[in-house]
Amino acid sequence: MELRQKLILASGSPRRLDLLKQVGIEPARLMPMDLDETPKKSEHPRSLARRLSTDKAKAAYGEIHRDPAWNGSYIVAADTVVAVGRRILPKAEYLEEASSALHLLSGRSHWVFTGVCLITPGGTVRQRIVETKVRFKRLSGLDVESYLASDQWRGKAGGYAVQGIAGCFVQKLVGSYTNVVGLPLFETLQMLSGEGFAVQSGWTEG
């Protein structure tokens, strides 16, 4: 079994990096791909997550596959989309976006879709879409105001980070918790293992 396999994470997300490290996988390289993430007209949230994760993985593969230093690398990319029905909530960059999202999510259920795309050293593309249903409690004005002041919403799909303060807003969660954080670990490791990546090789060090 090869012990020095290289994994490239086509993301700059600290949360995805932390999740991989949690299961003993240390990416050899981080390659955030700067792509236009604007949904297409009438695009379903699930389709958006699939398209963006695939585009990011392929963009990273296009940059490294001719470089001998990265021969034999696995590439993992992911994209997380939060939606109420078919309405896609943006990755909040402005206070108004986060406030609008929180008021929309208050007291109701929403869906979190994460697309995961794996490209193997041989160029094989594998994809998974993972869905989690999340229900928020009814948020008070103080809840929203205080959360916005925390700044934990910035850059987060749906205007919240479940692994932070917003975890106390979650009344019910059906499905993968790590999916809501940004990378469904069970499915990601299942894909890697199925394509010959030694997912347990770093466990003795952790």
User: What residues are annotated to the active site?
Assistant: 79
Q: Is 14 helix (H, G, I), strand (E, B) or coil?
A: helix
157, amino acid identity: A
Q: 163: exposed, middle or buried (C-beta count within 10 Å: 0-12, 13-18, 19+)?
A: middle
Beta-strand relationship, 29-30 and 6-9 = parallel
DSSP H or E run through 173? strand 170-174
Phi, psi for residue 131 in degrees, rounded to 5: -120, 140
Q: Is 52 helix (H, G, I), strand (E, B) or coil?
A: helix
Q: Is 137 helix (H, G, I), strand (E, B) or coil?
A: coil
Q: Which residues pair with 112 in a beta bridge?
A: 82, 132
Q: Is 103 helix (H, G, I), strand (E, B) or coil?
A: helix
Among candidate residues 24, 70, 77, 30, the one with its CA nearest the CA of residue 198: 24
Phi, psi for residue 83 in degrees, rounded to 5: -145, 145
